[in-house]
Amino acid sequence: MAIRKAGVSLFAVFVLIFMQSLAYSQDGAEDVQSEIETLKKQVAQLQQAIAQLQSQLSDSTRSTAKSETEKELEAELARELAQGAAPAQQPQQKTQAPAGISQQTLSARRKFFQNMNPNISVIGTILGAASSLDALDRNVDLAFQEGEFSFQAAVDPYAKADVFISFGKEVEAPLVPEPDTSEPMGPSGLEPEIEEAYVTLLSLPFSTQLKAGKFRSRFGKINETHPHAYNFINTPLMYTNFLGADGLNDEGISINWLLPNAAFFQELTFQVTSGPLESSGFARAEDNHLLYLGHLRNLFDLNENTTLELGFTGLVGPNNSEGQTTKIFASDLTVKWKPLRFNRYKSIEWMSEFLVSKHDGVERDVTSIGLYSFLRYQVAKRWFLGAKYDYSEFPEFSDLHHQAFSGIVQFFTTEFQKFELEYRYNQGDFFSDFSDIKMRAVFVIGSHGAHQY
């Protein structure tokens, strides 16, 4: 407004001066030339003043516009800070969609075909062993013990499928009272095997699930777990002596029922299988005698850092082709402590199992037992120390036993690789005492599902 007033005033001055000059023109021609020169000078001064005013007006307009822009930016920034700005994301390169197909359709098709592929992983186990046992063909050995290929995927929203194919060295059960001397003790060559292949129906009525195919049975605490995931190298003696070197792995069906218990987690499992082809305590009968298993799992939260798991297993099935059976009752106890504040650096796990076996024989019945107890302590982020005690009799011999004392060291570089060392001292009443030491390296590539807690 002030600038406009100044411009009007200057224009009025200009008009008055011009009219005055016209009045003076009547005094004589001699003054005309001098007046013209004076007017020229005044006009030039006025033009210069107008130019300065226009420049000031332009600068003022730009300053005002800049001030308004800054105010708008500041207001927008304040709104973003108040609402919590979303984290910046890295720009993604978009694939140009073919003509006639939208980018959204192309992305949906790509995601569909990716989901059609199963999660694939490969697990390798390298084992080195040395033993003072003279019965072995080789007392020192280094071998690629097993390569496991897993394929896991959802069949549809109601079912999932799991397939595990392994190339491993078959190992005989260590030290039985009446060994088959025709077969050398120790590992044989790599042989392919379908370790597990089953489909699971996920959403059945009454909180149940059904599994059918070839699978590791729900016996005790560790039978369902693949040996490469054990926190020790040597499988507990009660498993190898009563179930077999590979545990209980059979073909059949399994039903899981999540019991409606609001106080704690409780799960009941019932399985019917054909009977293992290779087992110390059971046999696959030629008639309709099958293997029946029941397992009850109870999990308690003692506090925010500690859980307790208590399980009970009942197992009955044929042990020969003549109809005799073996009955096993087992219990397992697991306590885990993992503090919330230091859960990556400190933890304690104590796991124990016990079984009683009643073996119906042709000549006599035998009742025998087996047990082990394992303690593991995490000393650092990647280091674990463990100790294990084993005691086991045999399905057909209750007067003979094998016991062992073990010390274990584990180092996990990441969740995809670990190195383990285990020393074991063995005692028994049908062999001389001996020691063995084993080193194991396990690596994982690909997407491998988590094991049971």
144 sits in the region (left: phi over 0; alpha: psi -120 to 50; else beta) called beta
How far from chain centre, in Å, is Cα 178? Answer: 44
- Domain coverage including residue 378: 201-446
pLDDT at position 99 is 54
Say if residues 345 and 358 touch (Cβ distance below 8 Å): no
For residue 139, pLDDT beyond 80: yes
pLDDT in tens, 269-282: 999 999 887 788 88
Task: Classify residue 337: in a domain, yes or no.
Answer: yes
Task: Classify residue 353: in a domain, yes or no.
Answer: yes
Q: How far is Cα 97 from Cα 107, in angstroms, rounded to an integer?
A: 9
How many distinct structural domains can be found in the chain? 1
Give strand pairing partners of 32: none
Task: Pull the structure tokens for residue 441.
Answer: 């390296």
pLDDT at position 355 is 98
Looking at residue 89, the DSSP 8-state letter turns out to be -
Say if residues 153 and 119 touch (Cβ distance below 8 Å): yes
Q: How confident is the model at residue 359 (pLDDT cuts 50, 70, 90)?
A: very high
Task: Classify residue 30: in a domain, yes or no.
Answer: no
Task: Classify residue 192: in a domain, yes or no.
Answer: no
Q: How far is Cα 378 from Cα 231, in angstroms, rounded to an integer?
A: 12
pLDDT in tens, 309-349: 999 999 999 988 677 899 999 999 999 999 988 889 999 99
One-letter identity of residue 282: F
- In this structure, the strands spanning 417-428 and 190-204 are unpaired
Task: Classify residue 142: in a domain, yes or no.
Answer: no
Task: Classify residue 351: in a domain, yes or no.
Answer: yes
Q: How confident is the model at residue 21 (pLDDT cuts 50, 70, 90)?
A: very low
Q: Report pTM.
A: 0.72
What 3 state SS string does 98-146 have?
CCCCCHHHHHHHHHHHHHHCCEEEEEEEEEEEEECCCCCCCCEEEEEEE
Q: Give the range among 170-174, 233-237, 349-353 with minimum mean pLDDT.
A: 170-174
pLDDT at position 133 is 85
Task: Classify residue 272: in a domain, yes or no.
Answer: yes
295 sits in the region (left: phi over 0; alpha: psi -120 to 50; else beta) called beta
- Helix or strand (DSSP H, E) at 442: strand 434-446
Query: Collapsing DSSP states into helix, strand and coil, what is residue 70?
Result: helix
Q: How far is Cα 378 from Cα 344, in angstroms, rounded to an integer?
A: 9
How far from chain centre, in Å, is Cα 356? Answer: 36
- The domain spanning residue 299 has which CATH number? 2.40.160
pLDDT at position 31 is 62
pLDDT in tens, 383-392: 999 999 999 9
Looking at residue 207, the DSSP 8-state letter turns out to be G
Q: How far is Cα 445 from Cα 416, in angstroms, rounded to an integer?
A: 7
Residue range 354-362: average pLDDT? 92
Say if residues 410 and 383 touch (Cβ distance below 8 Å): yes
- In this structure, the strands spanning 347-360 and 325-337 are antiparallel
Task: Classify residue 238: in a domain, yes or no.
Answer: yes
In sequence order, the 6+-apart residues with CB closer than 8 A to the CB of 373 are: 350, 351, 352, 388, 389
Residue range 242-265: average pLDDT? 93
The string of DSSP letters for 361-414 reads -SS-EEEEEEEEEEEEEE-SSSEEEEEEEEEEEETTEEEEEEEEEEEEEEEEEE
- In this structure, the strands spanning 347-360 and 140-156 are unpaired
